[in-house]
Structure 1
Amino acid sequence: MLRLLTPRFTLSSFQESDWPFFLELRQNNAVMRYMAGIASEEDIRRVFGQRLLENNAFVIRLHVDETPLGDVGLRISKVNPAEADVGYSILPPAQGQGIASEALKAVCEYAFYQANVEALNAWVLAANAGSVRVLEKARFSRVQTLEKSFLLNDKYYDDWAFRLTKEDFARADG
């Protein structure tokens, strides 16, 4: 099991015992509000099964408590392994406490210095101000706007693409 440590959190690979948490997270309207519609339990189970197989998807927990607070993941491109997408979600009671920012920094460090990734991409709806702040704080740059391109719950949203290179991360972290 892969584990990443931050000053406050342990990020650990998904285990079968994380299923109740993952289901809760993916059925939470506040979490899914800017991600996707609430899927069936069967479809959520299928996504969870993929998380179990990936070494780059993590549950976020406080060092002193085993209670899951969120998840963060890295999906390395099969076509171009020097590129990866990142994503994260945090349970509503834990939002606004810097959890996503701290976890994302750890995943960036892992991606750039252990997984040999050269660039990270993230997609976020323009309306998701909290997630935009997390990416900007992590020094991701907005590189593209897809106007009214993402349909969610019968409404079209602008979709923003963000990018962070290893070089920019090293410069900001140095």
Structure 2
Amino acid sequence: MATIKTSRLRLTPFHPSDWPFFHALRKNPLVMRYMAAILPEKEIRRLFALRLVTPHTFVIRADGDTTPLGDIGLHISSQHPDEADIGYTVIPEAQGKGVASEALRAVCDYGFREAGIRAVNAYVLADNRGSVRVLEKAGFVRTQILEKAYDINGVHYDDWVYRLERGAV
């Protein structure tokens, strides 16, 4: 599996030693508030096991450092293999420092060059202003608003759909 390097970051495939990081991230209410309800450990382990074998999923680290800052991944559509959905998460201490933006650009470039996709889609809750800024700064365009389409712990949120086409930026 590929490793992606940027000027500041190193994105590496998941390794079994990344479990404590992944577990802590998925149990952190500040991280999960815009993603999903916090799951039981058994379900978090299942998600982690998938990350270990799923292509195009990465742990984000500062170059030269082993401390994980977040994770990011592409999920290529089985119905439209030239498209992928992207998702990312960054620890609170690394938010607002350009980590998500740099990793997002790098993984989109990787997807266009190496995975042969022509478009990347992202779904973000309207309330997640930080992630909205990251997507728009990277050239993603909002294409749809799904009103009250996403539920976290009984609260319904608007889900915004964004898209980046190869060659758009």
**Per the shorter chain, which TM-score range?**
over 0.9
Q: Distance in 1 between matches of 2:40 and 2:120?
A: 30
Q: Distance in 1 between matches of 2:21 and 2:33?
A: 18
- Over aligned residue pairs, what C-alpha RMSD do you find? 0.7
Q: Gaps spanning 5+ residues in structure 2: where?
A: none
Specify the SS of the correspondent of 2:34. coil
Q: List aligned pairs for 1:138-157, cutoff 5 A.
A: 138-157=138-157
- Equivalent residue, structure 1, for 2:65: 65
User: Please, what TM-score do these two structures have when normalized by structure 2?
Assistant: 0.98
Q: Find out whether 1:130 has 2:151 as its counterpart.
A: no
Specify the SS of the correspondent of 1:96. coil
Q: List aligned pairs for 1:59-138, cutoff 5 A.
A: 59-138=59-138
Q: Distance in 1 between matches of 2:65 and 2:10?
A: 10
Specify the SS of the correspondent of 2:167. helix
Q: List aligned pairs for 1:157-168, cutoff 5 A.
A: 157-168=157-168
Question: In the TM superposition, what whole-angstrom CA distance separates every residue of 1:68-91 from its partner, at most 9, and x where no partner exists?
Answer: 000011001112110100010000
In the TM superposition, residue 54 of structure 1 has moved relative to its aligned partner by: 1.1
User: Please, what TM-score do these two structures have when normalized by structure 1?
Assistant: 0.95
**Residue-pair matches, total:** 169
In the TM superposition, residue 41 of structure 1 has moved relative to its aligned partner by: 0.6
In the TM superposition, residue 167 of structure 1 has moved relative to its aligned partner by: 2.6
Structure 2 letter corresponding to 1:2: A
Moved >2 Å (runs of 4+) = none
Question: In the TM superposition, what whole-angstrom CA distance separates every residue of 1:4-24 from its partner, at most 9, and x where no partner exists?
Answer: 001101000000110110001
Structure 2 letter corresponding to 1:97: K
Specify the SS of the correspondent of 1:102. helix
Q: Distance in 2 between matches of 1:48 and 1:117?
A: 25
Q: Distance in 2 between matches of 1:31 and 1:4?
A: 24
- Equivalent residue, structure 1, for 2:35: 35
In the TM superposition, residue 153 of structure 1 has moved relative to its aligned partner by: 1.7
In the TM superposition, residue 32 of structure 1 has moved relative to its aligned partner by: 0.4
